[in-house]
Structure 1
Amino acid sequence: MKLHLVPALTGITWVKLGVKTFFRQPLALSGLFFMFMAVVSVVSLVPVIGSAISLLLVPAATLGLMAASREAHEGRFPMPTTLITAFRSGPVRAQHTLVLGAMYAGALMLVLGAAALLGGAGGGAEVALNEAEVTPEMVRSTLFSGGLWLAMVVYVPVMMAFWHAPALVHWHGVSPVKSLFFSAAACWANKGAMLVYGLSWVGVFMLMGLVISLLGAMLGGTQAMSIILYPSVLFMASMFHASIYFTFRDSFLADDDEALAPPNPATGDDA
């Protein structure tokens, strides 16, 4: 396994491949993402340990969605069992995935704890929960919260470390600690493509938000928009998760398998 460098514009290709792959199996991919969110929501309701367990499962669920994207891209229907791919490849890799999940939960807790020390990240949320109506003052206090911005800045290296880590553990047999290092190194080496990828998705989400707002206004206002909003968010989130697989596929090459070579960034087709 070796790192592969890609041009910055490959980030746009990843977004296109995610959207294209989603529309090959829209019901399957959105259904799997819904299952993931439902499981996390139910588990998080368990007193005391629920939130920690739900975070523990995030890397495994991320891998499951990546595997589903791979199945759909290769013309196969991703079955519901694809979501537990991490636990179907032997006890060693399943254990490594859970270790990775524990590390992710600990890292995220540290990020939130650091933000809470500044009194910003939790403050805005607490006000929002105690108030029936969200006011411009509440939005401004949240946006200009030192804790919120600290959490966002600190979370960037955490996100880089865990971005490719579940796939490295599962498909390349890398240990959890090494997978974090290789993932962060790959994200940094391809930072141009990752930046374009992130900005492209921001643009897609903003465009979709504008379309939803226009449709809501045309069809009857707030009530119509609320009906459109949930499935739209579900589909968009599913497209985004479908694209994550391609960021991994194009960032690493297997030493003994040239068939894993990434597609031509100009076309997005397999090599």
Structure 2
Amino acid sequence: MKLHLVPARTGFAWFRAGLRTFWRQPLAFVGLFILFIAIVSVVSLIPYLGGVLALALLPAATLGFMAATREAASGKFPMPAILLSAFRAGRQRARAMLVLGLAYAIGLLLLLGLSALADDGQFARMYLFGSPMTAELVNSSAFRNAVWISMALYVPLNMLFWHAPALVHWHDVPPVRSLFFSFVACTRNFWAFALYTLAWSGLSLLVAFGLVLLTALLNQPALLGLAMMPVSLLMGAMFITSIWFTFQDSFVVSETASAEA
């Protein structure tokens, strides 16, 4: 396995591949996304440790969606059990994925801890425990600073974990090395990822503008609130479908390794 450098235009190809694959099996991916949210919500209800456990499940869930995308891209229907792919590849890889999940949870908690220095933890409490967002809170400069700090720190954290679940699961890369390889791959293919991010951001803004325009034309402002949840689920499912393609093009592997499940 070695890093594969791609031109910037590949980022838009990832975006298109995600959309194309999603619309091959839209009900399957929306169903998987809803199931994932339901699982995370239930786990979050566990007293004291629920929030941390929910965060720790995210790398394994990402891997599950990548496996589902592989299935759909090859013409198969991804079944719900595919979300458990990370824990069905043997004890060693399952343990490595749990280590990765714990590292992600710790990293995100540290990130939120640093943001708490700006606003006494108001943003962190909202993120972890669902504290209500009030107009007073949004207008607070301390809260906005905490949000900007979190966003700035989340970028390198995301780069560390972007490819890591796939490297651990399909190529048996140790968790620490997978984080390093993931960060290097995202850095070296920066412009492709930049275009990929811009494409998804542009689509999100276009969809949001379309909803606002539609509700204004129909003079039904309540429709906006009703439509936001299903549209957000749809956008989330489409986006997560595209992650597999970013990994597939960022590394060159042997045919034997590529065939492993």
Q: TM-score, normalised by structure 2?
A: 0.91
Residue 117 to residue 251, structure 1, CA distance change in 2 (3 Å): same
Aligned positions of 1:162-241 closer than 5 A: 162-241=161-240
Partner of 1:12: 12
What runs of 5+ residues in structure 1 fail to find an aligned partner? 261-271
Question: What's the CA shift for 1:183?
Answer: 0.2
Question: What's the CA shift for 1:218?
Answer: 3.5
Residue 44 to residue 257, structure 1, CA distance change in 2 (3 Å): same
* Equivalent position amino acid for 2:152 in 1: V
Question: What's the CA shift for 1:224?
Answer: 1.9
Query: Equivalent residue of 1:54, what SS?
Result: helix
CA contact (8 A) 1:121 1:142 kept: no
Question: What's the CA shift for 1:45?
Answer: 1.2
Question: What's the CA shift for 1:226?
Answer: 2.5
Task: Report the Cα distance in structure 2 between the residues aligned to 1:81 and 1:255, rounded to whole angstroms.
Answer: 27
Question: What's the CA shift for 1:22?
Answer: 0.5
* Equivalent position amino acid for 1:90 in 2: G
CA contact (8 A) 1:30 1:234 kept: yes
Question: What's the CA shift for 1:211?
Answer: 1.2
CA contact (8 A) 2:66 2:241 kept: yes
Task: Report the Cα distance in structure 2 between the residues aligned to 1:142 and 1:32, rounded to whole angstroms.
Answer: 38
CA contact (8 A) 2:22 2:241 kept: yes
Task: Report the Cα distance in structure 1 between the residues aligned to 2:55 and 2:204, rounded to whole angstroms.
Answer: 25
CA contact (8 A) 2:115 2:124 kept: no
Partner of 1:74: 74
Partner of 1:104: 104
Question: What's the CA shift for 1:70?
Answer: 1.1
* Equivalent position amino acid for 2:53 in 1: I
Question: What's the CA shift for 1:121?
Answer: 6.0
CA contact (8 A) 2:123 2:143 kept: no
Identity, in percent, stands at: 49
Question: What's the CA shift for 1:156?
Answer: 1.2
Question: What's the CA shift for 1:140?
Answer: 3.8
* Equivalent position amino acid for 2:170 in 1: W
Question: What's the CA shift for 1:215?
Answer: 2.3
Q: TM-score, normalised by structure 1?
A: 0.88
Partner of 1:268: none
Query: Equivalent residue of 1:78, what SS?
Result: coil
CA contact (8 A) 1:86 1:93 kept: yes
* Equivalent position amino acid for 1:61 in 2: A
Task: Report the Cα distance in structure 1 between the residues aligned to 2:64 and 2:9, rounded to whole angstroms.
Answer: 27
Query: Equivalent residue of 2:23, what SS?
Result: helix
Query: Equivalent residue of 1:145, what SS?
Result: helix
Residue 217 to residue 186, structure 1, CA distance change in 2 (3 Å): same
Task: Report the Cα distance in structure 2 between the residues aligned to 1:191 and 1:203, rounded to whole angstroms.
Answer: 18
Residue 31 to residue 217, structure 1, CA distance change in 2 (3 Å): same
- Residue 158 of structure 1 pairs with residue 146 of structure 2: no
Render the CA deviation track for 1:40-63: whole Å, top value 9, x for unaligned: 011111110000110111100010
Question: What's the CA shift for 1:118?
Answer: 1.9
Query: Equivalent residue of 2:242, what SS?
Result: helix
* Equivalent position amino acid for 1:180 in 2: L
Residue 78 to residue 256, structure 1, CA distance change in 2 (3 Å): closer
Question: What's the CA shift for 1:130?
Answer: 5.8
Task: Report the Cα distance in structure 1 between the residues aligned to 2:80 and 2:132, rounded to whole angstroms.
Answer: 39
What runs of 5+ residues in structure 2 fail to find an aligned partner? none
Aligned positions of 1:79-158 closer than 5 A: 79-119=79-119, 122=122, 129=131, 134-135=134-135, 138-141=137-140, 145-158=144-157
* Equivalent position amino acid for 1:21 in 2: T
Question: What's the CA shift for 1:147?
Answer: 2.1
Partner of 1:244: 243
Question: What's the CA shift for 1:149?
Answer: 1.6
